[in-house]
């Protein structure tokens, strides 16, 4: 255990059952702002602070991969001013967090149609991705302009292209091949999916990858989400019995 990690057991967590991959639908920034009669952008600013806190907490708890849903393909349909504010915030976040990512051994990766992002954001992303590519303690994976359906369409196109040029036979299409053609190639599937702000839906997030993720929905709005609540969810996660469609050995006749 490195000095950056708190012992999971000191927090009453089983170190053997820390999820390898946690994915989060960070929802509720707008409601947080509305409750305070503030502009939605203030909610996003506060949400960025929560991102900093939660990345730190995950690093400390030994979570290997954290995927954050930051901007969906559908979010492009929001008012232009909100999109611009989100993009500015994202660029600032990347610039201000680069040093901390480097210092903490955190690699930055992205999933989604990042080619649709403004040039300045793309530049900041390439810079931080390249600077942190060699780091192995943790992966911070940002879902940006991400949609699960668009990811599946992109995969199907690649399969069709390979088949059309004779590179691939139908029998060779299996689950490993599909997983290899998704943005998440090389990452383990999420063990734990958290959604803040109480909505019981997936909103086009990681449709393939969450097949067996344990789902937790909390009413807490994302700007109010804390390390303590994350630890509490991890404790509940560790109590869940994951069966993956099988039955417990003691239930066998
Ligand atoms: C999540 O908060 C952030 C993004 C989707 C970019 P929202 O902006 O969706 O907040 P609510 O759902 O309106 O409260
Ligand atoms: C999901 O939240 C997308 C992100 C958190 C980036 P939304 O606020 O966009 O989802 P809906 O509209 O409630 O389904
Ligand atoms: Mg929302």
**Buried/exposed 165-184: b ≥16 CB within 10 Å, e otherwise:** eeebeeeeeeeeeebebbbb
- Active-site position among 14, 29, 39, 75: 75
Q: Which residue is closest in CA terms to ligand 2's atom 8?
A: 27
pLDDT of residue 6: 73
CA–CA gap between residue 22 and residue 112 (Å, rounded): 17
Is 4:104 a contact under the CB 8 Å cutoff?
A: yes
**Buried/exposed 124-163: b ≥16 CB within 10 Å, e otherwise:** bbeebbeebeebeebbbbbbbbbbbebbeeebeebbeebe
From the CB of 86, is ligand 2 less than 6 Å away? Answer: no
From the CB of 75, is ligand 2 less than 6 Å away? Answer: yes
| Cα 101 from chain centre | 16
pLDDT of residue 204: 98
The model carries a pTM of 0.97
What the block records as the tokens of 25 is 């639908």
Cα–Cα distance list, 102 to 34, 49, 95, 177 (Å): 35, 18, 12, 32
- Ligand 3 centroid from CA 30, angstroms: 7
CA–CA gap between residue 43 and residue 36 (Å, rounded): 9
- Ligand 3 centroid from CA 90, angstroms: 17
Distance spanning both ends of the chain, measured CA to CA: 42
From the CB of 222, is ligand 2 less than 6 Å away? Answer: no
From the CB of 83, is ligand 2 less than 6 Å away? Answer: no
pLDDT of residue 1: 57
Q: Find all residues with CB under 8 Å of 244, minimum gap 6, and list them.
A: 212
Q: Annotated catalytic, 141? A: no
What the block records as the tokens of 236 is 């509940």
pLDDT of residue 9: 80
Q: What is the pLDDT along the chain (253 residues), one digit of tens a residue?
A: 555 667 788 889 999 999 999 999 999 999 999 999 999 999 999 999 999 999 999 999 999 999 999 999 999 999 999 999 999 999 999 999 999 999 999 999 999 999 999 999 999 999 999 999 999 999 999 999 999 999 999 999 999 999 999 999 999 999 999 999 999 999 999 999 999 999 999 999 999 999 999 999 999 999 999 999 999 999 999 999 999 999 988 898 7
**How buried is 24 (Cβ within 10 angstroms: 0-12 exposed, 13-18 middle, 19+ buried)?**
buried
Q: What angle do CA 180, 181, 182 make, to 5 degrees?
A: 95
Radius of gyration of the chain (CA): 19
- Active-site position among 27, 104, 191, 204: 27
Best of 31, 49, 86 to mutate for ligand 1, by most ligand atoms within 8 A of CB? 31
Cα–Cα distance list, 79 to 44, 51, 88, 104, 128 (Å): 14, 23, 15, 36, 28
Q: What is the DSSP letter of 247?
A: -
Superfamily of domain 19-147+189-240: Decaprenyl diphosphate synthase-like (3.40.1180.10)
pLDDT of residue 57: 98
Where do the domains of the chain lie?
Answer: 19-147+189-240
CA–CA gap between residue 89 and residue 91 (Å, rounded): 5
- Ligand 1 centroid from CA 30, angstroms: 5
């Amino acid at each position: 255990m490195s000095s950056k990690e708190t012992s999971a057991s000191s927090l009453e967590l089983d170190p053997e059952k820390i999820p390898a991959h946690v994915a989060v639908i960070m929802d509720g920034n707008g409601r947080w702002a509305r409750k305070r009669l503030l502009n939605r952008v203030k909610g996003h600013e506060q949400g960025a602070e929560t991102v900093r806190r939660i990345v730190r907490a995950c690093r400390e708890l030994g979570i290997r991969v954290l995927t954050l849903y930051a901007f969906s393909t559908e979010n492009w349909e929001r008012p232009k001013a909100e999109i611009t504010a989100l993009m500015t915030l994202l660029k600032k976040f990347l610039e201000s967090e680069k040093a901390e990512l480097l210092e903490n051994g955190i690699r930055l990766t992205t999933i989604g149609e990042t080619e649709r992002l403004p040039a300045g954001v793309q530049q900041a992303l390439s810079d931080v991705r390249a600077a942190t590519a060699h780091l192995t303690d943790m992966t911070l994976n940002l879902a940006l302009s991400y949609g699960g359906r668009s990811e599946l369409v992109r995969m199907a196109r690649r399969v069709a292209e390979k088949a059309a040029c004779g590179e691939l036979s139908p029998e060779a299409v299996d689950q490993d091949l599909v997983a290899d053609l998704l943005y998440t190639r090389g990452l383990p599937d999420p063990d734990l999916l958290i959604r803040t702000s109480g909505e019981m839906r997936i909103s086009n997030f990681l449709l393939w990858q969450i097949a067996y993720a344990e789902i937790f929905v909390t009413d807490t709005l994302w700007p109010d989400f804390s390390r303590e609540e994350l630890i509490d969810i991890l404790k509940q996660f560790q109590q869940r019995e994951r069966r993956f469609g099988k039955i417990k050995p003691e239930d066998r006749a």
